[in-house]
Amino acid sequence: MRNKVVSIGDALREYLDKSRMKPKLMEVRIQENWESLMGKTIARYTQSVQLIDGTLMITTAVGPLKQELTYSRDKIKKLVNDMLGENIVKDVMIK
């Protein structure tokens, strides 16, 4: 039996794809890139961004921002999925 040669990066990616840590790692990537995705003003008034079972939970106490984010749910989902390179976010919830 011949051993298949793979790079360390490919082996880590394959491991993480199968790992239970993947959703948490994706959440951290979203949080790290939130300001660049949404802009400084929205990022400043967003209290938390969480990924729970494919749902992106965005928390803010600013009423007009909640309204604006609610209207932009599809755009947010597309931006985040494009940044991640895969369709992780299935829904966006604003609270």
Q: What is the pLDDT of residues 10-34, one digit of tens each?
A: 888 788 778 788 888 889 999 999 9
CATH code linked to domain 21-94: 3.30.300
Q: What is the pTM of this model?
A: 0.80
Give whole-number Cα distances, 33 to 5, 67, 69, in Å.
33, 22, 17
Please name the residue that has the structure tokens 């209290």.
47
Quote helix, strand, coil % in the chain, to nearest 5: 55, 15, 30
Domain ranges for the chain: 21-94
pLDDT at 2: 62
